Structure 1
Amino acid sequence: MNAGHNHSHAPANFNTAFAVGIALNIAFVAMEAFYGWKINSLALLADAGHNLSDVIGLVLAWGGALAGKLRPDARHTYGWKRATILAAFINALLLLVAMGSLVWEALHRLQSPEPVQGITIMVVAGVGIVVNTTTALLFMRGREKDLNIRGAFLHMAADALVSAGVVVAGALALWFGWTWLDPVVSLLIAVVIVVGTWSLFRQSLHLLFDGVPESVDLLQVKALLESLPGVARVHDLHVWAMGTSDIAMTAQLVMPEGHADDAFLQNATEQLHHRFEIEHATIQVVRVPFTAPCGDWPAGCAAPQKHGHAHNH
């Protein structure tokens, strides 16, 4: 077996971002829950519960990121990179469950609205805008390349928007006396969070079952390998995510008339990394395939899903 591996860059370190973000959000949750209880505001209590789930999510994301950096050993030859995918999935699942509880409570509150103190809501939610925006900015630079970091960024950015909505609700309740607005805002909060979380939930579940990452078009990977000199066809191609920022690939290249030297393999792995950000490529060169592909589609276990794009750099 001829194999080429490319590990040209390490994942960015977000330890400081996680520590600061968790500390800020714990302090804000305590303040928001206290004032929500004091003035009996469901919107504040709901947002406090959501922010608490975000604290848990940040802890999970941080734990996943740390586990993903553990060195491989004889028992775990890829290390613990998949912990980042698991953290993103649990993070999304917690948020969806929390939003279900929020909707249930808001629907009950709509049947018997209660007056709220608009000024207190506005001030507390205003603090939330600052806290959540600051935390989101800490994760902005990693959101494009790491699903785990993207989950943290999306939650904080969504929270900033939700807090802005709570400020508006507090102002309207203060000026017009709309007692029904508090549970309505809570329902809108739930809708915003579910919409923002669903993509994270779907993608992390997809990757947990070795799905092809959305940034990779499997047909284009196959076409690239088939375009290499001397390659007649590609056999048993697999692409999957080892973690939220690490993509792996295995393939057999059928080369009846030739063989692959180190320069050939280096060129192949560099192209795979450059076009698709595949970090760990293992290539086997054969004259005649001696293993059967594991599914009906010749290139792998299942027909590819077309995502309409690939990353070209």
Structure 2
Amino acid sequence: MSESHSHGRQANARQLTAALLLTGSFLVIEVVYGFISGSLALLSDAGHMLTDVMALALSLLAIRIGARPADRQRTFGYRRAEVLAAAVNAGALFAIGLYILVEAYRRLQEPVDVQTTPMLIVAVLGLLVNLISAHILVGGSGDSLNMKSAYLEVMGDLLGSVAVIVGALLIRFTGLTWLDPILGALIGLWVLPRTWALLKASVNVLLEGVPEGLDLDALRTELAGVPGITELHDLHVWSVTTGEHNMTVHLVVPLLTPGVQEAVELIADRYGIEHVTLQLEEANRHGDHAAHLHP
């Protein structure tokens, strides 16, 4: 690892730590005042902010654990810990989203008084916290997908804070308390698809499924079209962690034709596959030859 790359990782870790501490601290305040004010919208926004805290923690975890080398027990290292954490968090967040929807329905049947002053104050403070966190993270979002995802999570939470502010003002001036559960339900409905997508993607990685967005049939066709390859089988593509894809494949060629490995390497690179293991077998011989590629 180059010195500049190492410094970049350290800077990203510091930025994520600062944003995590800031957002996590405010999350506690938002939950407490959500119960004090009786605002479901504020609690729903707290659930959304919890997704931000989880995203920031996972991004920081990815940096910390990703730096740990593989050992005799875990030859792929500890990178899958990020996916395990994501699956657990997504399941918990999905349950929270469902609770918000059920509570919103109950409150529409039996309205609850909402204290708009603490609701408004906390929502404004939440907006400021998100703005500060976004400013902290924006520096590393241009050159790191990990940092960019964390930055987008925080920016998305700005919408929730703005929605709660608008809701508090409308309730304050119109007295329409039913706006609060409606607003809470809308925020919950916005969070649920995101957490479901995260859960689905995490489970797919844990089951070593084909990475989302990768067309296995198209990949197979391209590999079979490489000059010299007469047979292709045992093609497997999976992810160790998010965005890190592996491939193994058994290829049969009349002879160990020069250029086959290079051609497969180029195809794998186009599909975003970082680690490739080839088993090349001569069609007229019983032996085979294994080749390991790292595009």
Give the distance between the partners of 1:86 and 1:183, measured in 2 at CA: 33
1:277 maps to 2:272: yes
Give the distance between the partners of 1:85 and 1:260, measured in 2 at CA: 39
Of residues 50-59 and 26-35 in structure 1, the stretch that sits farther from structure 2 once superposed is 50-59
1:141 maps to 2:150: no
Q: Which amino acid aligns with 2:275?
A: H
Change (3 A) 1:238 1:149: farther
1:69 maps to which residue? 67
Which structure dedicates a bigger proportion of its chain to helix? 2
Q: CA deviation at 1:290?
A: 7.5
Change (3 A) 1:215 1:80: same
Give the distance between the partners of 2:175 and 2:218, measured in 1 at CA: 59
Q: Which deviations, in whole Å up to 9, do the C-alpha atoms of 1:49-86 show, x marking residues without a partner?
A: 44346434533453344223321122211112222222
Q: CA deviation at 1:134?
A: 4.8
1:265 maps to which residue? 261
2:282 to 254, 263, 287: 287
Q: Pairwise CA RMSD of aligned residues?
A: 3.1
1:94 to 80, 92, 95: 92
Where 1:250 maps in the other structure, the secondary structure is: strand
1:170 to 165, 168, 171: 168
Q: Which deviations, in whole Å up to 9, do the C-alpha atoms of 1:198-255 show, x marking residues without a partner?
A: 2222122112111111232112222222232211132211110011121100011110
2:229 maps to which residue? 231
What is the total number of aligned residue pairs between the two structures? 277
The alignment's TM-score, normalised by the length of structure 2, stands at 0.81
Q: CA deviation at 1:44?
A: 1.8
Where 1:18 maps in the other structure, the secondary structure is: helix
2:186 maps to which residue? 188
Where 1:73 maps in the other structure, the secondary structure is: coil
Of residues 132-141 and 172-181 in structure 1, the stretch that sits farther from structure 2 once superposed is 132-141
Give the distance between the partners of 1:29 and 1:144, measured in 2 at CA: 26
Between 1 and 2, higher relative CO (CA 8 Å, sep ≥ 6) is seen in: 1
1:122 to 120, 123, 139: 120
* Long gaps (5+) in structure 1: 1-8, 292-313
Give the distance between the partners of 2:156 and 2:32, measured in 1 at CA: 22
The alignment's TM-score, normalised by the length of structure 1, stands at 0.76
Q: Which amino acid aligns with 1:284?
A: Q
Q: Which amino acid aligns with 2:16?
A: F
* Long gaps (5+) in structure 2: 288-295
Where 1:102 maps in the other structure, the secondary structure is: helix
1:17 maps to 2:8: no
Q: Which deviations, in whole Å up to 9, do the C-alpha atoms of 1:26-64 show, x marking residues without a partner?
A: 232233234334433232233334434643453345334
